[in-house]
Amino acid sequence: MPGTFRSIKVRDYMTRQLITFRPDTDLFAAIERLLASRISGAPVVDGEGRMVGMLSEGDCLRSILSGAYYEAVGGVVADCMTTDLESVSPEADIIELCQRFVSGRRSRFPVVENGRLVGQISRSDVLRAIKSFARHEHPVSA
């Protein structure tokens, strides 16, 4: 049975409608958007749609703590985003992705194709893929 899951591709289950930030986005505007959207982080892209970082709640908290220490709270997303990026191809198979989720601590990966951000896939997206495949349902694009 595991071999049959190899035909399930990330492309079929990734989320395409993403909230993203630009490096020059005001940090507090980004925090407000994360809170309003009820998400814990978002990709940071340049003007050409290339992923240049990730901004998480943890990044925001670290920046605020550091700024409070120096009495200079604020700045822009580029000042505190994570640039050590891990991504996945839209052509990756679900089993490969499951292994990455199990061996790592991430709960989602950006999906990058030809250097551009095209989506995001989370642990829950993978579970949805496996559930629908096991029940012989067709993928539903998010």
Domain limits of the chain?
Answer: 2-134
Helix (H) or strand (E) holding 70: helix 57-70
Q: State the CATH architecture for 2-134.
A: Roll (3.10)
Q: Which helix (H) or strand (E) holds 137?
A: none
Contact between 9 and 90 under an 8 Å Cβ cutoff? The reply is yes
Whether 55 and 21 have beta carbons less than 8 Å apart is answered as yes
pTM: predicted TM-score of the whole model, two decimal places = 0.78
Quote the pLDDT of residue 54: 93
How far, in Å, CA of 107 to CA of 86, rounded? 12
Q: Are 60 and 80 in contact (CB under 8 A)?
A: yes
How far is CA 7 from each of CA 67, 92, 113, 134, rounded to the nearest angstrom? Answer: 48, 9, 19, 12
**What is d(CA 78, CA 83) in angstroms, rounded to the nearest whole number?**
9
The sign of the dihedral angle between the CA atoms of 38, 14, 8, 99 is negative
The tens-digit pLDDT sequence of the chain (142 residues) is 444 555 789 999 999 999 999 999 999 999 999 999 998 899 999 999 999 999 999 999 999 888 666 666 778 999 999 998 899 999 999 888 989 999 988 888 999 999 899 999 998 898 888 887 777 655 555 5
Among the listed residues 44, 11, 36, the one whose alpha carbon sits nearest the alpha carbon of residue 121: 11
The pLDDT, as a whole number, for residue 2 is: 47
